[in-house]
Structure 1
Amino acid sequence: MLLPTANARSVIVDMECGVINEMLKGPLGDVLDTQQLISDVSGAGNNWAHGNHCYGPQYHDL
């Protein structure tokens, strides 16, 4: 890692936890804060509208 004290200032949202797990295993995993990762069960089937309608309301106030 080039900057050992670096932390990403971001919120990562993906309804498929596998995608987020792969990000954590990759080269950026060291700079991501796990407190700022949001995922759900099996995903939204690559359909943003489905994810927004079905999962969105429960995460609205996070």
Structure 2
Amino acid sequence: MGDHEVLASTGVSELSAPGRCSQGFGVPDLNAWFRVSVWSDQGGMEAIARIRESLTLSGEG
């Protein structure tokens, strides 16, 4: 099984929803893209960083 690289965009505070932080992620070789949003009072970018660190992707390569 091969590991897949998880890439992240620059994290931002959402202007349309003050107090919400979000960051886009992608796994290019799987053509998978998603966005994670967390309210600032629930941990904001620190929580998003922990989510990213906890991602484990593996598959047949």
- Could you state the TM-score of these two structures normalised by the residue count of structure 2? 0.24
Which structure's residues are more often strand, by fraction? 2
- Could you state the TM-score of these two structures normalised by the residue count of structure 1? 0.24
